[in-house]
Amino acid sequence: MSSIDQYTALYSENACAFDAHSAGKLNTMRKHALESLKGASLPTKRTEGYERTSLEDMYAPDFGLNPSRINMPVDLAATFRCAVPHMSTLLGVTVNDVFHPVGSLEQRLPEGVTFMSLSKAAAEKPEVIEKYYGSIAPTENAAVALNTLLTQDGVLIHVDRGTHPGKPLQLVNILSSTVPLMAPRRVLVVVEEDAELQLLVCDHTNDNSQSYLTSQVTEIVAGRNSRVDICDIEESSARTSRHNMLYVRQSEGSSLNHTTVTLTCGVTRNDYHIDLTGDHCDTRLSGMAIGSAGMHIDNHTDIRHLSAHCKSDQLFKYVLDDNASGAFDGRILVTGDAPFTEAYQSNKNILASQEARMHSKPVLEIYNDEVKCSHGATTGQLDSKALFYMQARGIPLEEARTLLMQAFMSDVIDRVSVDGLRDRLRHLTERRFNNYRQGDAANEQCGDCPASTSND
């Protein structure tokens, strides 16, 4: 039985429960998704290329679902302290696939900002959900269709026209279960014309002894002259598989700055699809991944320039040690309707051991003469001359290696627009390198974040 057959059968047995705990377009889209999945299959290494992560293998284990919404209590205070020093945020938490506002979130939100449960929004704000939910992510994609079929909740973030919240929003995703669990969830982000959003997303695992699979589809609608800044940090367990699908549609004059940071994981695959549909759009897509102890990290980007005078800039860096493996598959498409495009893509990697493996495939597909485009990939080892220089000045070899790997990641961190968050990422990166040098990477969590910093 294929993965799709496994989960469609489970859905058919519990269809009433799925609909009972959701509402509106989330339910109506389910029927369309089920039709799309007939005869479909998830991609494998054979169908996508050997360097990509097989989704069929990722989804194949018999993960349970929770269609009846059985309560899985989690002590939020004990599970994480995800505060960022010198940065106050508006905090919401998703436990598995159920959204929980923290404290009096609704009362503290600025006027013009919505940050709430997606299923609740489908009932209370149907006009927003009807207009935008499923408008970008295509159910012709089998993984998107499966997510659409199984999703009962998620998050809606909506910023009204001309609204500038003044402080970032923060979404913390926590996996917690006593049995193996799949958490399908959806995030819908709508930033209207001339509006602005800063969003910090953190993924954590509560019980490292269980196996988890997350399937998340994020749709971002960036209105005319809007600005969207997102930083996505993953610190999950070695038994966590994460499939993160991001779909973005940028209108004229909009700006997107998205950074993904993978610190610890089991198997992670991030798929980014960005359409620049209006003139004078600006897109910055960045990523850093630190792999050790058998971790696998896969980033796939697909940026489509569909209009004139747009610019995109991609930078992805990996440091892989032990028997960790990584993949980067990046594509830039410039259509005939996109003259005066600037598009740049760079993937740089360090293999810190003989067993580490990296596969990189940058691609340019250009159908226009009026462009400035470049792409490139490099994979190598730490600079032996720099290591010798540092050791000659009394720095032990392992400490010298750690310092060089930290420095290697600095330009990705510098692309984050929020000052306090940049400082936090430097600390997390330093701690991550120090801990895996001491053999503690598998137990890494975000537990040393200052408890005194409030999210209000």
Per-residue pLDDT of the chain (456 residues; tens, 9 = 90+): 799 999 999 999 999 999 998 999 999 999 999 999 999 999 998 888 778 899 999 999 989 999 988 877 666 655 555 666 666 889 999 999 999 888 788 889 999 999 999 999 999 999 999 999 999 999 999 999 999 999 999 999 999 999 999 899 999 999 999 899 999 999 999 999 999 999 999 999 988 889 999 999 999 999 999 999 999 999 999 999 999 999 999 999 999 999 999 999 999 999 999 999 999 999 999 999 999 999 999 999 999 999 999 999 999 999 999 999 999 999 999 999 999 999 999 999 999 999 999 999 999 999 999 999 999 999 998 888 888 888 888 888 888 888 888 899 999 999 998 878 999 999 999 899 887 655 454 444 454 443 333 444
**pLDDT on residue 59:** 96
Pairing of strands 181-191, 154-159: parallel
| Identity at 301, one-letter amino acid code | T
What pLDDT, on a 0 to 100 scale, did the predictor assign at position 117?
96
Give φ, ψ of 233 to 5 degrees. -115, 130
Q: What is the pLDDT of residue 17?
A: 92
264, 432 Cβ separation under 8 angstroms: yes
pLDDT at 46 (0 to 100): 86
pLDDT of amino acid 175: 93
> How far apart (Å, rounded) are the C-alpha atoms in residues 395 and 388?
9
**∠314-319-322 over CA atoms, to 5°?**
150
Give the global pTM: 0.93
Radius of gyration of the chain measured on its C-alpha atoms? 21
CB-count exposure of residue 114 (10 Å: 0-12, 13-18, 19+):
middle
Burial (CB count within 10 angstroms: exposed 0-12, middle 13-18, buried 19+), residue 40: middle
Instruction: Choose among 30, 60, 29, 18: nearest CA to 42.
Output: 60
Element (H, E) at 326: strand 325-334
Retrieve residue 182's tokens. Answer: 């799949």
Residues in contact with 110: Cβ distance below 8 Å, sequence separation at least 6, in sequence order:
163, 165, 166
